[in-house]
A = this chain, B = another copy of it.
Amino acid sequence: MNNKKNLIVGQSGGPTAVINSSLYGVVKESLAHPDRIEHVYGMINGIEGFLKDMILDFSEVLSEEELEYLKNTPGAYLGSCRCKLPEDLSDPVYPKLFCKFENLNIGYILYIGGNDSMDTVSKLSRYAAMSGSDILILGEPKTIDNDLILTDHTPGFGSAARYVATTVREIVTDASVYDQKAVTIVEIMGRDAGWLTASSALARKTANDNPYLIYLPEADFSTEQFVQDVQNAFEKSPSVVVCVSEGIHDADGTLICEYDRSAGLDSFGHKMLSGCGKYLENLLRSQLNVKARSVELNVCQRCSSMIQSKTDQQEAVMAGRYGVNAILKGETGKMIAFARENNSTYQSSCCLEDVNQICNQTKSVPTSWIAHSGTDITEEFLNYARPLIQGTVEVPMGEDGLPLFLSR
């Protein structure tokens, strides 16, 4: 009797610099078990594309050499989706999905994503249990936001944090060339959790270096206090660099980026759509009469191939491989998580956590890691984050002298 099954892997949610490294780990490890896994399939555009029968067979589309380029290709090789499955497990989409899985002789499903994607893993595994299906389903974590609970950190965060720290250090250097009072505001991703914004503190070359002010969404933001903070910072240097999370909000919970939208209309009569950085730039120009500029790091934070963290890339591959081995041992309904060894030098390992507890939860930066001033983070955060951004990746270059990316 042939007890071989097929494995299918999908990607979901916003891309990261290493979501394809996780995919690489999954595919590479799956191909190493030809006795257990017959075909390694990929869902195109996640569960949404799968419902439209959009799949590929990795052995058919990628040579062994091409597979290696996956690790350095940003975006999501398989394409992604933002699909939320119905809460009600008696919805007809579930039997439809499982019928498709069975037709493809799928035994193993690995789904790479953040908290919304873990919701998909939770629902599929609960439906499998309920319907008596023996299809196993595990979640592979990814998010630059680092906001998944029950894991020390998430693949994608280290590279994004390395990008933020490197780029802020570059911006600080650039901003300091003129002998003139000037503020540069750097707006960083993270609507609910400030992990990435906090990483800007790693940019400091010395303890008393820019960025002088760092604001996370975990603390309430007051524009009056902010103007005062900037004025005080000018005592240190004529060039002040401020890092803010896109999600900063006032004590009433109103986002700072919404402030202008309630006032200004653009020339199409629409509410102005700009970030909090742009709002604060205008605020400082108007209140302090100084040169002000804002830089929104934007999607570059999550798709920079050249500033990948080697540690992050290696851990993403490790998580991918670990997931395949765990699912082959019969695990289901869990997410691969990272544990940090209690050593003086950084070391991490993989473990499994209940995906039902993880999905739809958000891990914030602990309040105790935010300085009393509300404008900085503490040494504990630096010690936590520093190991995750270590190591330079050698990016394969194409004949045109630019990074070689794989496309589908």
Contact = CB atoms under 8 A, between A and B. Distances in A.
A315 to B, nearest CB: 15
A266 B260 contact: yes
A171 B299 contact: yes
Contacts of A167: 300, 304
A132 interface: no
Interface in A46-105: 48-49, 73-76, 79-82
Contacts of A303: 170-171, 173-174
- Size band of the interface chain A makes with B: 35 or more
A265 interface: yes
Given A169-B402, A282-B273, A403-B166, A178 B300 contact: no
A127 interface: no
Chain A binding surface SS class: loop
Contacts of A392: 395, 397
Given A49-B179, A205-B407, A283-B268, A174 B299 contact: yes
Given A80-B177, A171-B303, A177-B80, A270 B295 contact: no
Interface in A262-292: 262-268, 270, 272-274, 278-279, 281-283, 285-286
A149 interface: no
Contacts of A177: 11, 15, 75-76, 79-80
A181 interface: no
Copies in the complex: 2
A391 B278 CA distance: 35
A296 interface: yes
A240 to B, nearest CB: 15
Given A272-B264, A272-B266, A386 B400 contact: yes
Given A49-B179, A264-B266, A266-B260, A403 B169 contact: yes
B81 A166 contact: no
Contacts of A295: 296, 298-300
Interface in A374-399: 386, 389-392, 395, 397-398
A278 B260 CA distance: 15
A293 B302 CA distance: 15
Interface in A1-54: 11, 15, 45, 48-49
A176 interface: yes
A274 B278 contact: yes
A226 interface: no
B178 A81 contact: yes
Interface string A152-180: 00000000001001110111011111110
30 contacts: A11-B177, A45-B178, A75-B177, A79-B176, A79-B178, A79-B179, A81-B179, A82-B178, A165-B402, A167-B300, A169-B405, A174-B299, A174-B303, A175-B299, A202-B402, A260-B266, A263-B267, A264-B267, A264-B272, A266-B279, A270-B282, A270-B285, A295-B299, A295-B300, A306-B306, A306-B307, A389-B401, A390-B401, A391-B401, A392-B395
**Nearest 6 pairs of A and B residues by beta carbon:** A263-B267, A75-B173, A174-B303, A80-B177, A268-B286, A390-B401
Given A75-B177, A268-B283, 6 more contacts: A75-B176, A82-B178, A167-B300, A173-B407, A205-B398, A263-B267
